[in-house]
Structure 1
Amino acid sequence: MNVLAIRVVNDVFLRANAAPSDLALWCLHGFADCGAAFAHLFETPLGRRVRMMAPDLPGFGASPRGDHGGTIADHVATLLGLIEEETPDMKIGLVGHSVGSVIAAEAARQLGPRCAGMFSIEGNLTADDAYFSGQAVDYENAADFKNLFTNKIWERSADSIILRLYHGGLMQADAGAMWTFGRDVKSYSRDDQPGHVLKALDCPVHYFWCADNTPETTQKFLRDHALPNTEVTGTSHWPMLDAPDKVGACLELFFRVG
C-alpha cells in the first residue's frame, strides 16, 4: 500500500511517499498553488513505484513565507536545500507544473548530471505564459494584486471544481509572496527565456500539454524548437487532477519507471 506522509522540513510543508526506488521525483506546483495539486498522482501506479515529493513553496499552501525572498532564485535555493535534506543520495527527476517548471528547470541546471530529467506540465515557455501572474508588475501594492488575481479566478470558476479548489488555495497564499514571485516571473520571461532554458538543459526534457490551455505562441515555440512533447485533449490546466492516469503513465515512460 502506498502511504502518503505529510511533514514539515525547514518550515516547508511536504507531501511524500515511501516507494522503494533509486529515483526521487520532486513536483513543483504552479503560481500561488500548493503541492496538493499533485495529490492524485500519488494514487497512480507511478506513486507506488517511485519516490515522490510535493512541497508547498514558502508563502503558499501550508508553508509560511517567513523571511523568504520569494524570487525564482530563492525558490530554487529552497528546492535544492530540500533535495539535499530529504534525498541526498538519489537520482532526481523534476516535474514542474505551470510556472513551477521555471523553478524546476533552473534547479535542473544546477543539479547537472544528477538530474535524470525535467518534465514540464503546461509549463511556462514564452512571455505569454506569464500573462496572469505577470500582472503583478502593474501593482505597487501586493494586496491589490492578490485581490485582482483571486477575483479573476473566482469569476472563471462557476462551472469548474478545479478552479474552485485553486481559488481556495489562493486565499491561503501570502500576498507579498504572490506579488514578488509574479514580478520576477514577468521579468524572467522576456524573450521567451523559460523555453530557451528548458531547451538548453543537458538532461532529457518532455512537455505535457493540451491545446485548449496553451497560448498559440507557446504552441509555436514547441513546433519551432521541436521540444519532445505529449499533446492530450479534454484536460484542464491541471491534468494531474483531472487526468492523473494519463500524466502518471507519461511520467513512467519518460523516467523509465517499471
Structure 2
Amino acid sequence: MQLSTFKNILIRSTAHNTDTAIWCLPGFSDSSAAFSSLHHTEFTNSNRIITPDLPGFGSSPLNDHTCTIKAYVATLLELISELTPDVKIGFIGHSVGSIIAVEAASILGDRCIGVFSIEGNLTEEDAYFSGQAVNFEQPQEFKKLFADKIWIKGKNDEIFRNYFCGLNQADPTAMWRFGKDVKQYSQGDQPGRKVMELHCPFLYLWCLDNTPVASQNFLSKNKINNVEVTGTSHWPMIDAPELTGKHLSKFFSKNDALRK
C-alpha cells in the first residue's frame, strides 16, 4: 500500500497500475483506513484500489471546503481526472460514501464499470447517525455527542473502537456540514432513487443485523441487485475482508469483461 497526497488530500492506494481504478469512499466521518484490510486480499491482485481521506476527515484538513455532497463529488472527480485520467473507473461506497459514489458514477457515464455499495444509504432511515447534525447549532456539540455514542459502543466491540479512531480525526465543522446535507438529501429516499437511475451495474452488500427495515424493504420492492451476508458488522471490509473481496472480484471482473 502506498501513501501519497494531492492538494493536501491523503490517498491510500495499491502500488500497481491496471486498466481499471477502483475508488473507495469511506462512511460518515471515517477515514481511508477503513478499507486497509482489502489491500491484503486477492481482489487487489488485479485491481488498483484508491481511497482518499476527503477534506475534513482522516488526515486531510478541512481548508475552505464546503463539505456538501455536491462539493465532495466535485473533489472526487478532480482526483479521478488528475490521478486516473485514462482508465475505467469503479466505485466502492461504504455507508454514506455510497451517495458520493453513485453521484460520481452518474456523471462519469459509460466510463464507470460499476458501483459496489457496502450497506450504503438508500432511505431516510439510513441517515439515522449523520442526520442528527440538524439538531445542533454548534459543530463541536454534534461531534461530542456522536463520539460519545461510538465510544460507548466500542467498550465491548473492536470494530467500533476502530471507527472511533477515524472519527476522532474528523473535523467537527466537516461532520456538521456534511451530516446536515446528508439529512436534507435523504428526504423522499433520494439516495435509493438515484441508485435506480444509474446506467451502470450496481450491487448492494448488506447484513440483516445492520440494515434498517425501510432499506430492506426498498431493496426488495425495487428489485435492486443485492447480496445478503450474515454475521458481519457494518464494516465487513474490516471484519470479513476475504468475503468482501470475493464479492468485489466477482462483481468487477464480470462488469469489466462486459465493457471490453
For 1:174 and 1:73, the matched residues in 2 are separated by 18
Deviation string, structure 1 residues 96-146 (Cα, Å, up to 9, x no partner): 000000000000011011000011000000000001110000101100000
Whether the 8 Å CA contact 1:76–1:106 is kept in 2: the answer is yes
TM-score norm. by structure 2 comes to 0.96
Whether the 8 Å CA contact 1:29–1:97 is kept in 2: the answer is yes
Whether the 8 Å CA contact 1:20–1:49 is kept in 2: the answer is no
Residue 195 of structure 1 deviates from its aligned partner by 0.5
Corresponding residue number in structure 2 for 1:92: 89
**What fraction of aligned residue pairs are identical, expressed as a percent?**
54
Whether the 8 Å CA contact 1:24–1:91 is kept in 2: the answer is yes
Deviation string, structure 1 residues 66-101 (Cα, Å, up to 9, x no partner): 001100011001100000111000000011000000
* Structure 2 residue matching 1:212: 3-state secondary structure: coil
For 2:72 and 2:42, the matched residues in 1 are separated by 29
Q: Does residue 1:52 correspond to 2:49, yes or no?
A: yes
For 1:86 and 1:99, the matched residues in 2 are separated by 23
Whether the 8 Å CA contact 1:154–1:163 is kept in 2: the answer is yes
For 2:196 and 2:185, the matched residues in 1 are separated by 15
Residue 165 of structure 1 deviates from its aligned partner by 1.2
Q: Does residue 1:9 correspond to 2:3, yes or no?
A: no
Of 172, 189, 193, 1:192 maps to 189
Of 38, 41, 44, 2:38 maps to 41
TM-score norm. by structure 1 comes to 0.97
* One-letter amino acid of the structure 1 residue matched with residue 211 of structure 2: T
Whether the 8 Å CA contact 1:32–1:170 is kept in 2: the answer is yes
Question: Structure 2: which 5+ runs fail to align?
Answer: none
How large is the RMSD of aligned CA atoms in angstroms? 1.0
Of 113, 120, 123, 1:123 maps to 120
Residue 175 of structure 1 deviates from its aligned partner by 0.2
For 1:45 and 1:252, the matched residues in 2 are separated by 8
For 1:247 and 1:127, the matched residues in 2 are separated by 25
Question: Structure 1: which 5+ runs fail to align?
Answer: none
Equivalences for residues 1-258 of structure 1 within 5 A: 4-256=1-253
Deviation string, structure 1 residues 225-247 (Cα, Å, up to 9, x no partner): 01111100000000000001111
**Larger CA deviation: 13-22 vs 210-219:** 13-22
